A and B are shown apart, each in its own frame.
Chain A
Amino acid sequence: MKFLKVIKITAILLMISLTFAFAQDKKQDLKPVDIKLPKPMFIGTPQNMQVPNLEKPLGKARPPFLAPAGTINLAAGKSVKSTDEEPIIGEIAMITDEDKEAGDGSFVELGPFTQHVTIDLGQKSDIYAVVLWHFHKQPRVYFDVIVQVADDPDFIENVKTVFNNDIDNSSGQGIGKDMHYVETSEGKLIDAKGVQGRYVRCYSNGNTNNDLNHYIEVEVYGKPVK
């Protein structure tokens, strides 16, 4: 009997010590491991984008834009005119060729200072949104982004400004209250609120990297007026 008691006590003690040992082991498991991770790579001075009135990033995908059924990109393949008819890189027609890639061969580079491009939609249309891609190979902010809609190519009749972030009127189209924004592959969606017109004109005046102007694509979503 006494012998059995000794065995029982020994077994209990053994179990306790084993549990304790396992617990210790588990505790050791919880120690953070040393993982070989890449060190930071050095870079040169980053580009300055210290721009006043800059909109904060959403941090998530842009919510879908709702427009009436039958809305299409009216600008696709339409003719474009520019204040710089001889671009430094690319051709004006690339602005409506539906190629929105960031790489070389997809963008047109216009000269310095204020430049604009005008898209002829072919007929008077209800315009719900304009989506602009200037350049998105690297983060940049373009200055004096102004989008206007009019009935005539000279922008005299029925001119309506749907977007203007020229905070100091340096492009002469009036002081704009819209915010500067960082270019992304999503493009900048401008709510045109169903404004009517045949011609869409987009201004810009250099960017945070240089004083040149670039366009990858301009899309104008709407429906022709019947």
Chain B
Amino acid sequence: MILIIFVALLLRTWDLDLRPMHGDEAINAFKLADLLIENQYNYNPNEYHGPALYYFSLPFLWTGNINNITEFNAEILRAIPLTFGIGLILLLFVFKTNQTRDHLWFSALIAAVSPAFVFYSRYFIHEMMFVFFTYAFVFSFAGFIEKQSRVMSISSGLFLGLMIATKETWTIIMAAFALTIFVLYLFKLIPRDYFRNVLDSKIDWMFMVASTGIVILLFYTSFLNDLNGLSRFLDSFSVYFNRGIQTDQHNYPWYKYLEWILFYRSGGSFFSELFVLLCAIPGIIFVFKNPDTDNFVISGKIIAIFSLLNLMLFSALPYKTPWNMLTFWFGFIVLSGYSLAFFNQKLNQKKQIIFWVLISAGFLQLSWESIRINYVDYDRASNPYAYAQPVREIEELVESVHQIVEKNMEYAGFYSEVIAPGNDYWPLPWYFRDIKNIGWYNHVDTLQAPAPLIISNTALKDDVLYNIYQVPPPGRRVMYMPYRDHSFVVRSGISFDLLIQKNAWDNLN
């Protein structure tokens, strides 16, 4: 186990700040700063997901003695999903009662090297925490069905509450989970005695519901500081329902998740985690074919149907982002481990040699892809998980702006403005968080004099020039210099120009 955790840590912790900050990570950092500095969090049902990420991040900041957003850094923020990413592997061992030792090792090793799990363990968004709580709930609930233990019922309730407090997609996950239980019951895939016993333990159910309720109440009311948070939590249902079925952005065909994870082609390169699915398919067959005495029978069947239904539900919704794949993909990883353990036990010595050669090749391919997408192509189109990802060239813009600001420290009235349609300037607020006089706009305001330093989306070039040279009357027009003759690419398809007032330009030399 130590070796697996070592491999997982090695792949995840190296150069944690290598990838430029994503816009979503930057926004999460600002939200976290509000909670840290002003001790204020108000749930917004329209964006930014649930409160759990921010509250669970606080101890990391306290440990790092961080008191201000300027003291934030990418490493400390990304250490949070990283911890949950490692926690997800450990979760397999915590709930080991349902699984054989071989099975655990195989599943844990695949999770340790899976490119998707390595990538999103280094990404300060809600997803890794969400997958952790989802599977903590699934394993607990499977344990509850199997043993009707009170500890498992309370643990199911707590983790369900935390899942709900993390991200609104819990509704899809729970729809898949409820359907899973229904299918297992209807087709008698789990002996009905289990269900009868579970339904009889009413007090356990009360404990489960109460623990879920308490967690929701505490998190969505900001620990009883904002009771209206509960009504906003209820509002989120309709917001996310509408977004799921009717979306102008992130609208992809049903097969997009399969394309991203299994057959992703970009230019000359090809990416795939097909090895996991190839191993998981026999695993799904085995959990239903093997006798009920097998010690993975209940959680195995739950995970198999749950993962398949999750894949179907998420694929059916037009709204798709690659990190949503993690929930069903982890289920397939668990099932892959199950089938590999099964083959390892059943094959004779001769076939085992072939088996190990194939398995080693599969693990090496996954590890290689992990290294490639996390350390080489972390911002490129050849990486299916780098979604709306700022590119490494952003550093040139950041450095240039800092240089200009530094050289104009003594220039009275010097300030900067960033202009981008739709406020699409993230993650620049993260990179310019140390710059004091900087304003953020979504359009060129012709009623206001242009700032000495203009950082504007290339699409607004004409508007910016109009505001500089057409709006002011003759004699009051100020000369501006372009910092360089071509734009700065911030992310694929989005670029910015730097225009500097002549006096400020002179201070550079």
Query: Which A residues have a C-beta under 8 Å from some C-beta of B?
Result: 29-35, 37-54, 56-61, 112, 138-141, 167-168, 182, 184, 208-211
Contacts and interface: CB of A to CB of B under 8 A. Distances in A.
Given A57-B487, A60-B461, A184-B459, A52 B48 contact: no
A77 B383 CA distance: 44
Given A32-B413, A209-B249, 4 more contacts: A46-B424, A46-B491, A209-B248, A210-B251
Interface in B441-464: 441-442, 458-459, 461-462
Contacts of B440: 37-41
Contacts of A32: 409-415, 436-437
A106 B260 CA distance: 33
Contact of A52 (B251, B267, B458): B267
A209 B489 CA distance: 20
A45 B406 CA distance: 31
Interface in B11-48: 23-24, 27, 30-31, 47-48
Contact of A50 (B48, B253, B387): B387
A59 B437 contact: no
Interface stretch (B285-293, B394-402, B492-500): B492-500
Contacts of A52: 266-267, 381-382
27 contacts: A32-B436, A35-B415, A35-B437, A38-B441, A39-B440, A40-B418, A40-B428, A41-B442, A42-B31, A45-B249, A47-B250, A48-B387, A49-B494, A50-B380, A50-B491, A52-B381, A52-B382, A56-B486, A57-B458, A59-B486, A112-B253, A138-B422, A139-B493, A208-B493, A209-B248, A209-B251, A210-B248
A29 B492 CA distance: 42
Interface of B is mostly: loop
B173 interface: no
A42 B267 contact: no
B481 to A, nearest CB: 14
A55 to B, nearest CB: 10
A42 B27 contact: yes
A49 B412 contact: no
A34 B437 CA distance: 7
Contact of A46 (B414, B426, B442): B426
A53 B47 CA distance: 32
B423 A41 contact: yes
A179 to B, nearest CB: 11
Contacts of B266: 52
A37 B424 contact: no
B389 interface: yes
7 tightest A-B contacts by CB?
A37-B439, A49-B493, A59-B487, A52-B267, A40-B429, A210-B251, A40-B440
Contacts of A39: 440
Interface string B34-73: 0000000000000110000000000000000000000000
B407 interface: no
A43 B426 contact: yes
Interface string B368-399: 00000000000011110011110000000000
A212 to B, nearest CB: 8
Nearest to A37: B439
B100 interface: no
